[in-house]
Structure 1
Amino acid sequence: MNEPSRLLTFAHSNSTQLLRLFMAVLMLAVLYGCGVENSPKGNVVQNDSCDAAADPIDCQGFRNQLWLDVLARPDRCAGCHVPGGGGTGNFGAPDVIEAYEAVKANNRIDRNDPANSYLATKVLGGHNCWSDCTANGQDIAGRLVAWLNPTTGGTTQPAEDLGNVASRLENPDPLYDVDPSAEDIVLGNVVPPATPGADQAGYNTHVYGPIVSQYCQQCHSEDAVQAQRQQPYFADTDLANAFNAVVENRKIDINNPPNSRLYLRLAQDSHNCWSDCNSNADAMLAAIEAWKSAIINNPSYVQPVVEGTETTFQTTSRGLTLEQGQVISGGQRVTAGQIALWEFKNDDGDNIAEDTSTIQPKIDLVLNDNVDWVGGWGVEFNPGGRATAASIEDSRKLYDQIVATNEFTLEAWVVPANVTQEGPAIIASYSFSDTERNFSMGQTLYSYEFLNRDTASPLDVTNRANGQPTLITEPNDEDLQATQQHVVMTYDSVNGRRIYVNGEFTGDVDTVTGGALTDWDPSYVFTLGSDVGGANQWLGKLRMVAIYNRALTQEEITQNLEAGVGQKFHLLFKVGHLTDQLPDTSYIWMEVAEFDDYSYLFANPAFVVLDPDSGSLTPTSITSLDIQGMRIGVNGRLPTTGQAFLNMNETISMPNLTDSNNPRHVSLIGTTSATIGGVVTNNIPVKATGTIIAKQRGTNGDNPDQFYLTFENFAGEAGAQSENGTPIPLNYSYPDPVAGLGNSNYIAGMRIFEETNATMAELTDIEVGNSAVRPTFIELQQQLPSGPALEGFTASHQMANAKLALTYCGELVDNSGLRNTYFNQTIDLATVFDTPTSQANIVNTLYDKMIGREKAGEPIAGQPTLQQVSDLLIGSGGLLEQLCPGGSCSGNATRNATILKSMCVSVLSSAAVTTQ
């Protein structure tokens, strides 16, 4: 960030004050297009310190949650409930301790049931509401819970018992009791059953020949000149390659042509139109629709059947979309002291990110057109994107709530777009400009930065006003990664600033302590994605942001990390219709969430009977019900990858279903203990606990993705007999099968720490005990996954994987002998990326040695293709282009060595290596 260019002093001249005032008003007029109230709703406060209270901690909770924003405000309670006022009880007194004692003495609160306290029910009943009585009463109830029971979401809770969750499940709406359906057309050269015309010949006739080969080939072809070459190669001179690129990258939605990316890139983005964009987009859409029509109207066309229903017996569950599930409430978060919360749910579909905290006023944020909503809750900041508070008055809540306590916490779930951003790029900021701020969270390359205006800063007024000196995480630690991370920044006068990433203190110590926040300016504005006005742009996603008026403890930060983020659903796949051995309300129950913009997470399958007395079938017990070979289907197809429950082999028995004391649920994932790599590990899932399934249509629109389950055997009924696929070689020798552990040679999930280390050593041809690597492994051992459960894998585990991979890759690249042997050629680091051939040789070697191919040269089942890896590393917008734009690193051996290590780390720490 540039140093401020002008010196601020406390003795402004009149002209300077007027100029600054004019600039502030002008800026806000541009930002918001609306006026600001002339008079604040401020409190008439004489003493707001709880230090002398009988219970200072409890008093402080009362002060922060209830007194400042409600009781002490003249426009709410302090107009009457003060000494000499007409109200009963002086709980609006301008002295916080007097108000605190009055609330306790007059039975205005119920510590056993805070939400039903007299203070809340009185307002709910219509007593002196300041706006809507229901909303006001609920607001007070929420504040009372946050004060009196802050451990509702405040203390670390054990994992909830399966039965407790099952008891809250509800029978799905009868409207959801429908069979799964298949898409009308499935593109591909080989489709069972065959779909005439849905192959490369049809693509050639309708789209490739008349349009893309003429107008797109100069860029989207492997034969295009390097400066213009862009992937995917859907216009490649080789028709087969072009068709595969269209299918694999889903550039055409043949069942819904207006949703095709080839059309939308022209219609919405005006991407490389060859004449008039509107006409070009219309032509592309007409071509895709003509192709669809030709397929459907072909006399040989046969409506595809749902995979899993080809046999006589229909052994599939009913079909469900994600929105037809029941929302899972997340883990319990800390609420005490929380003054602002943005969950980015977009329930209304507008451009407002609502502040869902209980503290007024709400700081709702206005998203500009360059911010997109993200599936599963979140927002993505594209170039030019930012979110800005709707008014100065709303933002002032931060000043009022934080300056009084002289401590605060800024928490965010962050997904940086890359590790090349500088400035620092501003993730969140309470500021006036790019040189004047109260606090900011930012990114500089692999580091997080924390800027805060503090009276103890040793710098001059100008730099102090800019939050300097900055606290930045050690660059060599690479704490910031381009993956989802939980980032917490705390401030208090004793410790100063502290930064936590994925629950761990980074170890970076603030040199500025003992100060105060009294220099903060109440006229600043809260923003996300950049400073006010758009300076210091940050690119990436935010899944949640929260602010507290106190510094969270390590335990509380860990609790919020474990609570997770995003929207999850209980999906209840009906199976009661498959056999008369079951009540009608029998389901396979799974946790399902949007894992990211490209995939879903399915986890923790269980069998549950919700109401044994309802429906047409009411057996009183279940005896030896076999469930084997479960697969997940999407839109009538069974994906070839991600079928982690294929080896399921469970037998269910539930005696006397009419007795409510007997459990009506059972997990379909058993656990055991085993010795793996010389270490005894407990609670090992016998089968996979979760899996990732690729998105197709997504969750939005009129035709969202529909899921279903199919079984090789369900209660003796034969089901889908799809091929199992080729087993994935693990590149690590497990011990012999352990007695009592079924198939211990394959425990699906994440590699644990010793397995990860052994695998990386094997794949880089470096000894496990290498003197340069061993210390790093010992240091990171506790940070690497200790168990294989997929849902237990966090971003901190991935960070550890990346750090360990960096050590191996550094040893490989820095040692010329190892490097040349590994890549089977003499590597000149100065020119290693100068030609497409040399780039491809690097990628091919990394792919073949770390991911692998089958003998026929095809990718191993379940693994990414060479094309996908190549796109990420050397394709348009890939790693090489980001780190070395325009080939600017030619001749720079040091920079190229870093890039080569980064490519190595990208593959070695990826799921293709670190999952089993």
Structure 2
Amino acid sequence: MFKKFLPLPFILFLTACGGESQVKQNPEPPTAESGPFIYLGPPPTTQDIQEFKVQLWENIISEDRCGGCHNSQVGQAPYFARTDDINLAYNAANELVSLRTPEDSTLVQKVAGGHNCWLSSPQACSDIMTTWIANWANIEGQTNVIKLVDPVIKDPSSNKSFPAQSTLFATHTHPLTSRYCASCHASSATIPISPYFAEQDLDTAYQAAQSKIDLNNPELSRLVLRLSKEFHNCWGDCQTNANEMLTAINSMASAIPLSVLDNNIIHSKALTLPDGIIASGGSRFEQNVIAKYQFKTGSGTTAFDTSGIEPALDLTLSGEVDWIGGWGVQFINGRAQGSTTKSKKLYDLISATGEYAIEAWVTPANVTQEGPARIISYSGSNDARNVTLGQTLYNYDHLLRTTNTNINGMPAQSTPDADEVLQASLQHVVVNYDPVNGRTIYVNGEEIQTPDTTEPGTFTDWDPSFALILGNETSGEFPWAGSIRMLAIHNRILDHSQIQQNYSVGVGERFYLLFNITDLINVPQSYFVFEVSQFDNYSYLFQEPFFISLDKSANPQSIPLIGMRIGINGSESPIGQAFKNLNLVLGSTLYNSDSGQHISRLGTLIPLENGAQNDEFFLTFEKLGTHENIMVEAQPQVPLPPPNLEPQSRIGVRIFSEINATMSQITRVPVQNSQVKASFNNLKQQLPSVTDINSFLSSHQMAVSQMAIKYCNELVEDSSLRAEYFPGFDFDLAVASAFSTNQRDLILMPLLNNALLTGMKSQADLVEVKQELNNLIDTLSLCSGATQCDSKRTKTIVKASCAALVGSAVSLLQ
């Protein structure tokens, strides 16, 4: 790719501000506090200039951005931020942007390098500048074509890897980090900042420190460079402190042996992630994004809003929140919260359209969280919100305040219990709302069939004083554990095709790694290509492998491939070898000169060792072409005898959804009955969520009893349903007549037949249960006077008998 070189005077002007203007005839560029700038110059002469003015120029002309230097009144060329003539500013800006590939624009590269970035993160400035230029170019929905090019060709090198045990770290490095860095980089700090390499718990500190230590080049370790180059948190003279840290890391590294690759192994050439090609082959639909978080910063306490829509709704991280390598944040017991002032832009821009889409890539930590646990919430307290995306066990919950729901956004829309849509894995989730179709939920590109039973309303009751918060409620009482890799808030819904488009693009920092195998198969410019990303702080994801030659004239023929493995830092990874069973032929009719040959649909995780910048990868083969190396799998160790645990009960309890379905089956009252459904939504969090009988609590029984009472009440109060269920029983009789010996069977036998006669091998004894219910009726029938013993009490006794049976172990045990 050819680069355009700029004249030296132009470069000098662009890289530094200098000089003073003698005459200022036009209005000064606005400051951050001065409010919107009113342009009084000549009008734009074309529609493209108008787009430049609205999408880019108005965002960069303030003094704290580009207008402080590159305004003609100030005197710093090029004058792309001049305020006297938009047409001349446009002419200057055209030399600095690439409308086809906005990320390659000179303006983007300058702020990415730290030049006059108005935020603490050059990455955030770069993303925002890219967005502004892309908006000017109006390239939404276009797809970028990835061009594969030859990478650096190098053999796998001998490397040092972190040992499994933390002994060396504890001896040499941890004494310094725990003593001098614990005021920030420990969970016990007043304002804890990840990574926690100063944690008192040694294993936690060891894991966190590995990405900050370069065993092969200790002088390049971040722990050293932060002291020597950035003068960060020095405890004395910075250079002396850096030398002290370097000595500690050198001592640790010198005790770790090199991993040297066996000469008999058939291997590809080697690559690191930075040697790869960025896998950005698709464009997201973001025409109506008003807030966006990609979490690229990787450190600090701020998650930047890179939507480019002012005001920027940046979020402050607090509590137990960790940055994830490859972009993302992990919530353990913390939050990311915006100010109420900046959050008001959500109120303003969503209220204006009456609709929205909240789109996120999330990984719930588990499927046992309740509350609902708050994933994303625009709220003011535990029971007051505008909108919330939450988690209850296997369900996503969509709470929204409208004129037809209450202040807490209830009733909520939730994914179906039985579908178990929410899983502890990376998922693309979109919740939509518009005043015609109401609420919809999409997961991994597909709509979840969970109709919104609440009539659509308006946002006139929304509160503009609420705050956007991730991972918790404003009170801190509903924490959510999991990771968010990306969040985008749109002030229009996303339709099905747009959701699938964004889902197919994926998320995070991803690379194509081209492993050269030319010398093994004698096909020019031949590669195995993997899509690789850092999955979390501990592993890499390898997926979508294919074989290709970059020489279009190449014609590979019948090349055998058996047993491919992934190597890292001089040795094969001990785990994650999902491709070791491959046995196929490369080339011939299966090969396409444009797209190559797909190898496998599998993906795998490889443990991270020295950090994303330093880990070196390669491939090994049992057989490739004419080369062969027979691999002998190590014999697995004989497993230890199983521990002699306490005997486990063969009896379990039904969980919340099963209890609900069982009560419906016994009483024949549908689970969709409005009264039953409302009670279930309120009590669901109090019902059992696991089948272990030892975990059953008295609070669970209280919720079970309330659900039983609600089902039985609906059964008895519905005249047609009770007539069908209890044929022949007269509910208008007084107590004395209603519960004679013969009459009682008209109540008890339908209940017992529906609850007990299920064909189970082990079941409660019908005679004994019937006697217990008879005793209950005897007790409840003790009344005096016509008023106390009328037909109203008859219904009450039937409801109580029903609830006693439905809420008993008959419904709970399995």
> Please, what TM-score do these two structures have when normalized by structure 2?
0.53
Tell me if structure 2 keeps the 8 A contact 1:570–1:589. yes
- The correspondence of residues 380-395 of structure 1 with structure 2, limited to 5 A, is 380-383=330-333, 385-389=334-338, 391-395=339-343
- Name the structure 1 match of 2:158: 181
Shift in CA distance, 181/884, structure 1 to aligned 2, threshold 3 Å: farther
Q: Are the aligned partners of 1:427 and 1:441 in contact in 2 as well (CA < 8 Å)? A: yes
Query: How many angstroms does 1:387 deviate by?
Result: 0.4
Counterpart in the other structure of 1:836: 645
If you compute each CA radius of gyration, which structure gives the higher value, 1 or 2? 2
Match of 1:603 among 543, 555, 561: 543
Residue of structure 2 in register with 1:551 after alignment: 493
Letter of the 1:591 partner, please give it. Answer: E
Identity of paired residues, percent?
Answer: 35
Measure, in 1, the Cα distance between the counterparts of 2:36 and 2:550. Answer: 51
Q: Paired residue for 2:583?
A: 648
Aligned to 2:811: none
Work out which of the residue numbers 667, 678, 686 in structure 1 matches 2:597: 667
1:436 counterpart letter in structure 2:
A
Once the two structures are TM-superposed, the CA of residue 695 in structure 1 deviates from its matched residue by 0.8
What residue is the counterpart of 1:631 in the other structure?
565
Secondary structure in 2 aligned to 1:438?
strand
What SS does the corresponding residue of 1:594 show, helix, strand or coil? strand
Aligned twin of 1:328: 279
Q: Deviations over 1:317-353 (max 9, x none)?
A: 1232334322211543222212222122235x33322
Q: Which runs of 5+ in 1 are unaligned?
A: 1-35, 45-58, 77-102, 154-159, 187-249, 271-276, 458-462, 613-618, 655-661, 670-687, 727-834, 844-880, 898-916
Deviations 1:415-434 (Å, cap 9, x if unpaired)?
Answer: 22223322222111122333
| Equivalent residue, structure 1, for 2:530 | 590
Cα pair distance change 1:143/1:572, threshold 3 Å: same
| 2:141 matches 1:151 | yes
The aligned residue for residue 765 of structure 2 is none
Whether 1:719 and 2:629 are equivalent positions in the alignment is: yes
Deviation at 1:717, TM superposition (A): 2.8
CA, structure 1 residues 602+260, in 2 after alignment: closer, same or farther (shift >3 Å)? farther
What's the CA shift for 1:455? 2.8
Letter in 2 for 1:454: T
Contact 1:601 1:692 in 2 (8 A): yes
Aligned to 1:566, the other structure's residue is in SS state coil
CA distance in 2, matches of 1:893, 1:408: 37
Matched residue of 1:401: which SS?
A: helix
Amino acid paired to 1:528: L
Residues 360, 139 of structure 1: alpha-carbon distance in 2 compared, 3 angstrom cutoff? farther
Query: Deviations for 1:657-702, whole angstroms, at most 9, x for unmatched residues?
Result: xxxxx93763153xxxxxxxxxxxxxxxxxx43231441526347x
Indicate the residue corresponding to 1:699 in structure 2.
611
Instruction: Give the letter for the 1:179 counterpart.
Output: P
Cα separation, 2, equivalents of 1:510 and 1:279: 49
* Structure 1 residue aligned with 2:747: none
Q: 1:398 aligns with which of 331, 334, 346?
A: 346
- 1:587 corresponds to which letter in structure 2? Y
Question: How far apart in 2 are the matches of 1:262 and 1:446?
Answer: 43
Deviation digits for residues 809-846 of structure 1 (CA, Å, limit 9, x no counterpart): xxxxxxxxxxxxxxxxxxxxxxxxxx933249999xxx
Once residues 252 and 172 of structure 2 are traced to their aligned partners in structure 1, the CA distance between those partners, rounded to angstroms, is 18
Measured at CA, do residues 894 and 67 of structure 1 come closer, stay the same or move farther in structure 2, by a change above 3 Å?
A: same
- C-alpha separation between the residues in 1 aligned to 2:200 and 2:446? 55
| Cα contact 1:143–1:358 (8 A) shared by 2 | no
Q: Report matched runs for 1:75-224 at 5 Å.
A: 115=99, 140-145=132-137, 148-152=138-142, 165=146, 168-173=147-152, 177-181=154-158, 183=160
- Candidates 504, 508, 526, aligned match of 2:446: 504
2:354 and 2:156 mapped to 1: Cα distance?
59
1:143, distance to aligned residue in structure 2 (A)? 2.1
Partners in 2 of 1:42 and 1:295 — Cα distance?
57
Secondary structure of the residue that 2:353 maps to in structure 1? coil
Counterpart CA distance in 1 for 2:33 and 2:284 is 37
Work out whether 1:532 is the aligned partner of 2:474: yes
- Give the aligned partner of residue 354 of structure 1: 304
AA aligned to 1:699 is G
Q: Residues 422, 149 of structure 1: CA spacing in aligned structure 2 closer, same or farther, 3 A cutoff?
A: same
TM-score by length of 1: 0.47
Q: Do the aligned partners of residues 304 and 542 (structure 1) sit closer, same or farther apart at CA in structure 2, a change above 3 Å counting?
A: closer
CA contact (8 A) 2:575 2:606 kept: no
Give, in angstroms, the shift of residue 601 of structure 1: 3.2
SS of the aligned residue for 2:374 comes to strand
Shift of 1:411: 1.3
**CA 362–43 in structure 1, closer or farther in 2 if over 3 Å, else same:** farther
Paired positions, count: 524
Alignment-derived partner of residue 387 in structure 2: 439
SS in 2 for 1:335: coil
What is aligned with 2:602? Answer: 690
Note if contact 2:131-2:308 (Cα within 8 Å) is conserved in structure 1.
yes
Cα distance, 1:257–1:456 mapped onto 2, change above 3 Å: same
Q: What pairs up with 1:286-297 in 2 under 5 angstroms?
A: none
Q: Do 1:264 and 1:281's aligned partners in 2 also have CA atoms closer than 8 Å?
A: no
Does the Cα contact within 8 Å between 2:356 and 2:493 map onto a contact in 1? yes
Say if 1:386 and 1:608 are closer, same or farther in 2 by CA, change over 3 A: same
Q: How does 1:797-876 map to 2 (within 5 A)?
A: 836-839=645-648
Report 1:312-327 matches (<5 A).
315-327=266-278
Aligned to 2:347, the other structure's residue is in SS state helix
Q: Which residue of 2 aligns with 1:421?
A: 369
Give the AA of the match of 1:565: V
Cα distance, 1:369 vs structure 2: 4.2
Look up the SS of the partner of 2:429 in the other structure: strand
Q: How far did 1:407 drift?
A: 0.7
Q: Is the 8 A contact 1:152 1:335 kept in 2?
A: no
Which segment is superposed worse, 475-484 or 427-436?
Answer: 475-484
Superposition RMSD on alpha carbons, in Å?
5.8
Instruction: Provide the residue aligned with 1:567 in structure 2.
Output: 509
State the 1:490 CA deviation.
1.1
Task: Write the distance in 2 (CA, Å) between the matches of 1:506 and 1:698.
Answer: 41
Deviation at 1:116, TM superposition (A): 8.0
Partner of 1:616: none
Distance 1:526 1:137, change over 3 A: closer
Amino acid at match of 1:402: I
Between the aligned partners of 1:503 and 1:449, the Cα distance in structure 2 is 17
Q: CA deviation at 1:357?
A: 2.0
Q: Summarize the Cα distance change of 1:150–1:68 in structure 2 as closer, same or farther, 3 Å threshold.
A: closer
Question: Matches of 2:200 and 2:306 in 1, distance apart?
Answer: 45
Distance 1:570 1:371, change over 3 A: same
Shift of 1:403: 0.9
The answer to whether the Cα contact below 8 Å between 1:66 and 1:143 also exists between their aligned partners in 2 is no
Equivalent-residue separation in structure 1 for 2:446 and 2:135 (angstroms): 30
Instruction: Report what 2:193 is aligned to.
Output: none
Distance 2:200 2:280 in 1: 48
- 1:165-195 superposed Cα distances (whole Å, 9 cap, x missing partner): 4xx1232246xx2324365797xxxxxxxxx
CA pair 259-414 structure 1, distance change in 2 beyond 3 A? farther
Q: In the superposition, relative to structure 1, how do residues 340 and 134 fare at CA in structure 2: closer, same or farther (>3 Å)?
A: closer
Query: SS of the counterpart of 1:370?
Result: strand
Q: Is the 8 A contact 1:632 1:639 kept in 2?
A: no
Deviation of 1:631 (Å)? 2.1
Structure 2 gap segments, 5+ residues each = 1-30, 40-46, 64-86, 109-115, 120-124, 189-197, 207-214, 216-247, 637-643, 653-687, 705-814
